[in-house]
Amino acid sequence: MTVSSSTSRADYNGNGATTLFPVPFYFLDPTHIKVQRTDFSTTPPTTALLVLNSDYTVSGAGVQQGGSIITAIAPTAGQRITILRNVPFTQLTHYVPNDPFPAATHEQALDQLTMEVQQINEVATHALSFPTYETPQATVPPASIRASTMLGFDANGNATYLPVPSSVGAGDLRTDVFTAGVDFTSGVSASVTLSRAPGTVNNISIHFDASWQGPDQVSSLNGAVLTFTAPIPVGVQKVYVTSGTTVSLGAPSIGSVTDAMTAVGSGLYNRVHDYISAKDLGCVGDGVHDDTAAMQAAFNEANERGKELFIPAGTYRLTDAINIDNSGQSTFPQLRISVRGEGPQNSVLHWDNGPQGGLSIVGSITGIAATSMQTFRDFSVIKDDGQSIGMFFKSHAHLLLENIWILGWSTGIDYEDVQESIQTNVDAQYNVTGLHAARLNFSLPNALSFYNCTYGNNKQAGIDAINVNTFTYIGGSIESNNDLTGSTYNPVWGCRLLTDSNAVNEGTASGTFVGTYFERNGSATDGIGKADLWYANYATESTLVVKGCTFNRGTTFGTNQILIDTVGGRRHKVVLEGNGHSAPPMGGYPGASPSRPYVKVYNPADKVSVVDLANFYQSSIEAPNYAGAGGMPASVVCAESNLGGWVRFNGLTCEIAKSFGVLSVTKTGTGAYTVTLAQAQPSPGSRAYFGSVTGGFGLPQVPTESASQVNVVAVNAAGIPTDFAVVTLCWAADSAA
């Protein structure tokens, strides 16, 4: 016969019923047929070699057109049958000398040789090959060179051998989870069986619930059986075992890290040299898993190495405080830590309810300056029950807090002996007190600065800064720090700068507020709310500067907007410039009252000098008059003011409709009145007066005046004194005294 076809294989997809499959090529013996069944329902597909006369039978051997096979079990729709020629590479034909030429036997031997060639071609078509126009160097090197490598191609396209990358050499990490009562018995079981054999203890990480177990807790690792040195403790609910070979765990193969990969500015360089990720130390960040132990380990690692700790996006559930205590260090270089997240909306440290929780970072002042240059930014610190301290800092200098949310604590941020601190875009809300700052044993706190921060919606106080020298608050807001019930907290305020120790001797105690919005700080109960800005100094001389701020009392809160509270007879300087003071009649506001002035000086004995420039006071009743009325002691000296004064009154009854800097108006004759000033003018005769009348043509004139009174005559167009319906008199500010 002839081998007239080059076909040497056939493929058939199963349907669950067919068992008869044609063999469309010539074969000499049933053993020359190989049958494979491929199952595509698995990933990856699996292949099984069927057994002759057990899994299938063959018919048609020696027939040039081919034959068929019959399988014992019909392949399913997800399976494929592949029929291949499988001729043995042997030559069994023997020619006897002087015998007649055996033509049929000779032809059959040639047929088998052809079949063998076709069989080799079938294998060759599945091999990689080079184009015919190339002459590549395709010889592999000796085993000693190619061991533990993989085939690749060099810059010329020739075969070479490369280090095995982690994605090829070791596979992925795998975590086995064992549950108490199902996979082990607490207090009894001392071993678990893993889903694979890790090879060595160094390739596994073990946690009993949230508690990490070191390799010294492993007695043996026999294949996949992991045995501990003691039974799993009572109370452990789950055992987590993460396994992976060294490559899977992140160690690169020898020779796989190039100079380019580690160059300055490369991703690998930045990761090695710049920061530590919390997730590298085992943090999960799913809001469910207890990340306390892993987060503490991450803080410890970053602190000891002086690196920045990176907190990737996620919600990290914490059940206890995270503590860093560097108080024992006394020499450089200092232990220090900085922490960075991916934004307060994304990187969230969330503590369970209870008295525990918060970040505590303690520096050192023993023998050296306070621990310096630490940054905390782009994450949030949250609690839900108003307990504990959110962020506690002690003995620090040049501390930076930036883009931080701190919500739901008893004290949001606590500074003890902190100097040269800057806060930018810090949002402290829904605490009892937003910020508490004080000095303990050091000449601090000094130079605390705030830029575009929000301290609001805290129950008792937005800010309570005690014995601080140089407090600067620029932009941002201090608002809605109040006690709506009026019974829990007493007193209540927006921001208090309190000096009660003469240890504040680094110059005068000073506070500066520029462009800040104040609103609704105080209490719904009279006498409990203090002020939007409570400046209390009982021990030293001091200065307060308030520029370009807005004070909006609003709603039912009847507290002062600025309260100057001093004791001790020392000098105090206050600059008020370009501020807006209002109390809009909305939300149940009780109305203007001289007992509730915008600016109040508490102590009538202390010498307080005020510079009052270009401020807007909505209500003349609540505006400062610097003359002993409306909460303003006579001892207060307005060193410079552009407030001036005015009065609008009924020309017949002298009833005042609106005024500023005026105590009363009395009628002395037709068109003649005496205006009594709220504060004595420094230089009688130097003021410029102007005004108007209503109810006819005319104007008010001032023929005479004294330090405390102005005599006014309203005249008509003919110069005759006349009783007009309304008389308005105004005067400009006095020159500086």
Q: Let me know: does 215 contact 203? Beta carbons within 8 Å.
A: no
Summarize the confidence of residues 21-49 as an average pLDDT: 92
d(C-alpha 270, C-alpha 155), whole Å: 29
Which of 30-44, 297-311, 336-350, 495-509 has the weakest average pLDDT?
495-509
Compute the mean pLDDT over every residue in the chain, rounded to the nearest whole number.
85
The tokens describing 260, both together, are 């380019």
- Is the pLDDT assigned to residue 366 strictly greater than 60? no
What confidence tens digit (pLDDT) does each residue in 512-545 have? 999 999 998 887 677 788 899 999 988 888 899 9
210-226 pLDDT, tens digit per residue, is 889 998 999 998 878 99
Strand ranges, E, within 51-167: 56-59, 67-71, 79-85, 149-153, 159-163
Which residue in the block uniquely carries the two structure tokens 């201090």?
478
Q: What is the pLDDT of residue 68?
A: 97
pLDDT given at position 208: 94
Percent of all residues in the chain with a pLDDT value above 90, rounded to a whole number: 48
pLDDT, tens digit (0-9, with 9 covering 90-100), for 586-642: 655 667 777 778 888 877 667 788 888 888 888 877 888 665 444 566 556 565 444
**Backbone phi, psi, residue 218, to 5°:** -100, 125
pLDDT higher than threshold 70 for residue 60: yes
How many residues are present in the chain? 737
**Intra-chain end-to-end CA distance of the chain, in Å:** 132
Helix-then-strand count for the chain, H and E:
5, 56
pLDDT band at 133 (very low <50, low <70, confident <90, very high): confident
Contact 626, 614 (CB under 8 A): no
The whole-number pLDDT of residue 450 equals 98
| CA separation for the pair 145, 515 (Å, rounded) | 72
**Among 150-164, 390-404, 468-482, 537-551, the least confident range:** 150-164
379 neighbors 338 (Cβ within 8 angstroms) = no
Q: What is the pLDDT confidence band of residue 198, given thresholds at 50, 70 and 90?
A: confident
- pLDDT attached to residue 527: 75
pLDDT band at residue 443 using 50, 70 and 90 as cut-offs:
low
Residue that the structure tokens 């809001």 belong to: 287
Cis peptide before 30 (omega within 30 of 0): no
Number of other residues whose CB lies within 10 A of the CB of residue 322: 22
Q: Give dist(CA 6, CA 117) in Å, integer.
A: 10
Does residue 718 have a pLDDT over 80?
yes
Q: What is the pLDDT of residue 245?
A: 52
pLDDT of residue 149: 76
Residue 142, classified by CB atoms within 10 Å of its CB into exposed (0-12), middle (13-18) or buried (19+), is exposed
225 Cβ contact list (under 8 Å, min separation 6): 191, 192, 193, 194
Give the pLDDT of residue 265.
54
Q: Provide DSSP, 362-380.
A: E---SSSPPEEEEEEEEEE
Distance CA 641, CA 535 (A): 21
Ranges 105-114, 284-293, 491-500, most confident: 284-293
**Beta-strand relationship, 211-213 and 204-208:** antiparallel
Whether the per-residue pLDDT at 169 is higher than 50: the answer is no
Of the candidates 125, 140, 12, the residue with the CA atom closest to the CA atom of residue 76: 12
Nearest CA to 468 out of 442, 496, 493, 497 is that of: 497
Position with higher pLDDT, 302 vs 3: 302
110 phi and psi angles, rounded to 5 deg:
-65, -40
pLDDT of 113 > 70? The answer is yes
How far apart, in whole angstroms, are the C-alpha atoms of residue 173 and residue 659?
79
Lowest pLDDT segment from 337-341, 488-492, 657-661: 657-661
**What pLDDT was estimated at residue 685?**
83
Report the alpha-carbon distance of residue 682 to residue 675 in Å, rounded: 16
Whether a cis peptide bond, with omega within 30° of 0, leads into 445 is: yes
Average of per-residue pLDDT across 36-58: 93
In 319-388, beta strands by DSSP E: 322-325, 338-340, 347-351, 359-362, 371-382
Q: Out of 288-302, 401-415, 545-559, which region has the weakest mean confidence (pLDDT)?
A: 545-559
User: What is the pLDDT at residue 373?
Assistant: 80
Q: What's the confidence (pLDDT) of residue 508? A: 61
Q: Among residues 468, 529, 534, 475, which one has the least CA distance to residue 501?
A: 468
Distance (Å) of CA 77 to CA 15, 38, 136, 292, 539: 4, 11, 44, 52, 92
pLDDT of residue 89: 81
Tokens of 597: 């002035």
Which residue(s) pair with 523 in the sheet? 483
Q: What is the pLDDT of residue 247?
A: 45
Kindly tell me if the per-residue pLDDT of 57 is higher than 80: yes
* Contacts made by residues 145-152, CB under 8 angstroms, sequence distance 24+: 148/253
| 712 pLDDT above the threshold of 50 | yes
The residue assigned the tokens 């505006």 is 623
Q: What mean pLDDT comes out for the span 83-112?
A: 82
359-362 and 322-325 beta bridge pairing:
parallel
Q: CB-based contacts of 182: which residues, under 8 Å, 6+ apart?
A: none
- Strand pairing category for 662-669 and 672-677: antiparallel
**3-state class (DSSP) for residue 257:** coil
State the alpha helices, DSSP H only, in 80-154. Answer: 103-124, 143-146
Mean pLDDT within 101-109: 80
**pLDDT reported for residue 638:** 61
Q: Which residue has the tokens 């405390």?
A: 708
Predicted confidence at residue 736, as pLDDT, reads: 40
Q: How many other β-carbons are positioned within 10 Å of the β-carbon of residue 144? A: 6
Q: How does pLDDT run across 413-437, given as a tens digit for each residue?
A: 999 988 889 999 999 999 999 999 9
